[in-house]
Structure 1
């Protein structure tokens, strides 16, 4: 098997290459490794923190990683240590880096979030990964993301002194966000969600953005526009700033967006361990939030709407309670596992390219 852009470390690889899709979102990083029954998925919040002092204890979570960079192609990282995902927010709740803060951070810290995701998986002495990555602006960030991710990296996971892992990364392709979701939708069984032979429209409800996209037959992007309003984070902020929640907390400050996100994801709507259920507040804010974004999205894709044979919505926002029904009432098909659709499709693309030696 021939891999493109080989590094020196790859000449001594002993374990087989694994096709991997990496969706480095502003809110969540999703990594999908392998195919079929052996497929592994890892998801961590897109947060990073550099550790500059000894930890009191080793922190561990299935949604956060810890790595020490011994050596490799990222010379700027040698001798440095990082927490990612929930571990970053545990250690430094207000000062960690959130990739949603600045579009450039996805390229700058793409390697960190990928290594952090690998840290949540069982230890392997060697990882040989054939990657397809997605980024929101390929023209601007493709080269930077590739340069900062590609190559060989020797790291220790979950502590400085744990057995090192050799992580060999071959970036095969960088595609726009949504390309993986399209690939997933045209191939999902038993019935594809998108007809590949016709025009299709998709709305991506992400953490920080909402992106309507128009696809030509075959999947080429005709039109793609990031709306000027924010994604799910705007809804979470509205709930956190709701006067009823602020009054209950009694501090005069907004609630925690992270605690609210967890309450929505587990569908209990409980505010952490406090005796407060915010289901009614969620319902109150959800309709205006979604209606406003659909109105703007419809305006953006109006020219193509009548010709499109498929109209779908994907992204983490689609999986929030009540959203699916509201989308269906507008003639939009919510994609099951919407949060994972892009990573799953990217993995399929990586597998196909690896099979073809690309």
Structure 2
């Protein structure tokens, strides 16, 4: 990790405000990857704690640990835009404290038709208290790109390529020809659909109660099926994964396999790739799974921000 100069104030950054987890990568810092939860519960100055415009809230792991949340990105399609400033400040509140941040951001969004709205929400100058310390934060959006595009940045792309991005809220199907995108279709059949199904079908293990979606996601992200110390949901998970695939994913996977038949290479990204047992199924079907499929998009977004700044070092605020 490069040592950043203490006087540095302007930072290129990539922001992936995902349905299930948000990823913020600021140049010279470790990536922040935390659940997309916002809690208004009273807390001390934990990572993710923000006081802003007279309100206090916490973003990320600590919000999950309270046991209840007032908002999740995945609860509403518009939350990725409406909550973007809250979640971005919450992500910054996980990084070492700085008196001033000027972020030049490239952001990914499932629907780039909402790019102007997202810019209106994010662009500006703010004075939040981040994890107990006052900070001047200036945010400048350099570019809004379709979700998953960051993961391809810097890769030598094959002439014909089809990419499936298995996200929490959506599964994105994209086709590229000579590096130009031809198709970008979001299907509302992300991992959340699978998690909801598991929560309903595990009642017999859980004293007749619906399972907690956050706890299910947490164990699956770690790569196992232990819902709690004394409850393994492996059988329920296996049955639900099969259902999810047959009912929802088969169509889009078959589209991708048709593209392979037409000479495309097929790649997979997104957190869904890492679901227990799912990666093997994808690889068996000929998918190339990108390294670090969960965070690859954020790393590419940062590289895009650096490239834009190098090309146009005098970019002005609000452009």
What TM-score does the superposition give when structure 1 sets the normalisation length? 0.80
1:220-278: CA deviations, max 9, x gaps? 221121225x2111111222222xx322321x2211111111222223422223x1112
1:256 to 203, 207, 212: 212
Partner of 2:57: 82
Distance 1:269 1:305 in 2: 32
1:207 aligned residue:
168
Aligned with residue 101 of structure 2, among 104, 121, 127:
127
Write the distance in 2 (CA, Å) between the matches of 1:262 and 1:105.
Answer: 21
Query: What is the distance in 1 between the residues matched to 2:128 and 2:133?
Result: 9
Count residues with an aligned counterpart: 308
TM-score, length of structure 2 as denominator length: 0.89
- Determine which of 186, 194, 199 is the counterpart of 1:226: 186
The root-mean-square deviation of aligned C-alpha atoms, in Å, is 2.2
Task: Give 3-state SS (helix, strand or coil) of 2:96's partner.
Answer: coil
Task: Note if contact 1:59-1:87 (Cα within 8 Å) is conserved in structure 2.
Answer: no
Q: CA deviation at 1:167?
A: 1.2
Gaps of 5+ in 1: 1-12, 70-77, 187-191
Does 1:148 find its partner at 2:113?
no
1:106 pairs, out of 80, 83, 98, with 80
Aligned pair partner of 2:134 in 129, 144, 164: 164
Rounded to whole Å, the distance in 2 between the matches of 1:176 and 1:282 is 31
Task: Give the CA deviation at 1:293.
Answer: 4.0
Secondary structure class of the residue paired with 2:135: strand
Say whether the 8 Å CA contact 2:256–2:266 is kept in structure 1: no
Q: Of the candidates 315, 319, 342, which is equivalent to residue 274 of structure 2?
A: 319
Identify the residue that residue 3 of structure 2 maps to in structure 1.
none
Q: Distance in 2 between matches of 1:348 and 1:110?
A: 21
Out of 242, 251, 265, which is 2:221 matched to?
Answer: 265
Residue in structure 2 matching 1:26, options 4, 19, 23: 19
* SS of the residue 1:127 aligns to: strand
How far apart are the structure 2 equivalents of 1:299 and 1:269? 27
Residues 300 and 215 of structure 1: CA distance in aligned 2, closer, same or farther (over 3 Å): same
Distance 1:339 1:14 in 2: 32
The answer to whether structure 1 residue 46 and structure 2 residue 36 are counterparts is: yes
C-alpha displacement of 1:314 = 0.6
Q: Is the 8 A contact 1:225 1:300 kept in 2?
A: no
Structure 1 Cα separation of the partners of residues 217 and 205 of structure 2: 18
Aligned partner of residue 262 in structure 1, secondary structure: helix
In the alignment, structure 2 segments of 5+ residues that lack a partner are 1-5
Shift of 1:349: 0.4
Alpha-carbon distance change, 308 to 165 in structure 1, aligned in 2, over 3 angstroms: farther
CA distance in 1, matches of 2:225, 2:45: 27
Q: Secondary structure at the match of 2:231?
A: coil
Q: Which residue number corresponds to residue 68 of structure 1? A: 51
SS in 2 for 1:115: helix
Q: 1:312 to 1:82 in 2, by over 3 A?
A: same
Match for residue 284 of structure 2?
Answer: 329
Q: SS of the residue aligned with 1:338?
A: coil
Residue 96 of structure 1, CA deviation: 0.9
Contact 1:45-1:85 at 8 Å conserved across structures: yes
Q: Indicate conservation of the 8 Å contact 2:224/2:276, yes or no.
A: no
Structure 2 contact 19–168 (Cα < 8 Å) conserved: yes
Q: Quote the residue 2:261 is aligned against.
A: 306
Report the alpha carbon displacement of residue 284 of structure 1 after superposing the two structures with TM: 2.5
